[in-house]
């Protein structure tokens, strides 16, 4: 899965999809993509990631208390 990092506006290849869907995990491991080159792994804050279309990740993926809002 690819997501866009709002800080760099670059694509991130997510390495662990379970972390994206888990609202108790605030960061995901991924690799930045620059053209055809894959860069080193790093951790990215889910609050700063969006879908490549610009749409935010679902609240139930980011906030463990999403039902209380």
Name the strands in the sheet holding 27-34, side by side, starting at the edge strand that comes first in the sequence.
37-45, 27-34, 11-14, 2-5, 49-50
Residue 69: its pLDDT value, please? 64
Residue 27: its pLDDT value, please? 96
SS3 69: coil
Contact 32, 12 (CB under 8 A): yes
Residue 68: its pLDDT value, please? 80
- Mean pLDDT (10-residue bins), the chain, 69 residues: 93 94 95 80 95 95 83
Helix (H) or strand (E) holding 57: none
């Amino acid at each position: 899965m690819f997501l866009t990092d709002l800080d760099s506006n670059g694509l991130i290849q997510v390495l662990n999809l379970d972390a994206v869907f888990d609202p108790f995990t605030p960061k995901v491991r991924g690799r930045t993509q620059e053209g055809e080159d894959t860069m080193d792994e790093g951790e990215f804050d889910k609050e700063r990631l969006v879908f490549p279309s610009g749409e935010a990740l679902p609240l139930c993926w980011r906030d463990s208390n999403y039902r209380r809002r």
